[in-house]
Amino acid sequence: MARVPHTTTDETARVFALQAEVDQLKEAVASHAVVDQAIGVVVALGRMTPDQGWTVLKEVSQHSNIRLRNVAELILVWGRTGEMPDEIRARLEDSLDRLGPTQIPGAPPLDPLE
């Protein structure tokens, strides 16, 4: 039977540190996916570029004092259920109104006299 080598305290600490780092990286990947999906919802909703969608998410997060990932999750839930907290909805609408296009892409120009 093979003997299991004894690990030193330093090696054990290193294993725990590496496991913590792996867990953080897994969380970052999951968070990134949620944010990317929410940007897609904002892009489709606001007829805007992904950069503008990112800006909308950041603004909603900053002005509501809610973490970006949590705002992204709320937007995804809203996309599935139609439910969103009133404060987030108001902030999202404000940001979309300010940053979104003034007309549908490909539509004829608006007549300024109308």
Instruction: Give the pLDDT score at 32.
Output: 78
Q: In Å, how far from its chain's centre is CA 47?
A: 17
**Residue 21 is assigned to a structural domain of this protein:** no
In Å, how far are 12, 19, 55, 69, 95 from 41, measured between CA atoms? 44, 34, 13, 14, 14
Asked whether residue 105 carries a pLDDT value surpassing 80, the answer given is no
> What is the overall mean pLDDT for the chain?
82
Q: Tell me, yes or no, whether 4 lies in a domain.
A: no
Q: What is the pLDDT of residues 36-80, one digit of tens each?
A: 999 999 999 888 999 999 999 999 999 999 999 999 999 999 989
**Domain with 80 in it:** 27-98
Neighbouring C-beta atoms of residue 49, cutoff 10 Å: 13
Model confidence, pTM: 0.67
| Per-residue pLDDT, 71 | 95
**Domain count of the chain?**
1
Round to whole Å and give the CA distance between 54 and 20: 29
**Model confidence band, residue 6 (pLDDT cutoffs 50, 70, 90):** low
DSSP three-state, residue 27? helix
Under the banding of pLDDT at 50, 70 and 90, the label for residue 86 is: very high
| Within a domain: 20 | no
